[in-house]
């Protein structure tokens, strides 16, 4: 009878250790998810927000729809883009991204001059 009580106590202790290991695995999975998914996305959003705040007349940009143009005028939340000689469109400021060439140039500048 004493042996059965000791075996049950030992089995209960083993079960608790397994539960703790499960909790640690869940915490590790959440940490991995944060560092590989959430953090890079928030960093990218901050860079795009910084770009939109620094936009000025003459910058080359790309819209969310893939239209490339040059900024002619910036109003509150609206940008006037010149697509061709006599073609101008009005686009919401939130739908504008840096053009690929400018983004590559900016990346090269950051690598060469990390300050």
What the block records as the tokens of 97 is 């991204």
Q: Choose which CATH entry (2.40.160, 2.30.29, 2.30.30, 1.10.1130) describes domain 56-115.
A: 2.30.30
DSSP-derived letter for residue 56 is: -
Per-residue pLDDT tens over the stretch 46-70:
998 898 888 899 999 999 999 999 9
Q: Where are the domains of the chain?
A: 1-54, 56-115
What is the percent of the chain where pLDDT is above 70? 71
0.85 surpassed by pTM: no
Answer for the pair 89, 69: CB distance below 8 angstroms, yes or no.
Answer: yes
- Given this model, what pLDDT does residue 7 score? 56
Residues 92, 109: Cα–Cα separation, whole Å: 28
């Amino acid at each position: 009878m004493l042996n059965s009580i000791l075996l049950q106590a030992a089995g209960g202790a083993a079960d608790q250790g397994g539960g703790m290991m499960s909790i640690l695995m869940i915490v590790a999975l959440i940490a991995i998810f944060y560092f590989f998914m959430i953090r890079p996305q928030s960093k990218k959003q901050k860079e795009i927000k910084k770009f939109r705040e620094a936009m000025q007349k003459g910058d080359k940009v790309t819209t969310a729809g893939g239209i490339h143009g040059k900024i002619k005028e910036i109003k509150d939340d609206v940008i006037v883009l010149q697509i061709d000689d006599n073609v101008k469109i009005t686009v919401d400021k939130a739908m504008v991204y840096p053009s690929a060439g400018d983004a590559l140039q900016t990346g090269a500048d950051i690598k060469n001059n990390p300050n």
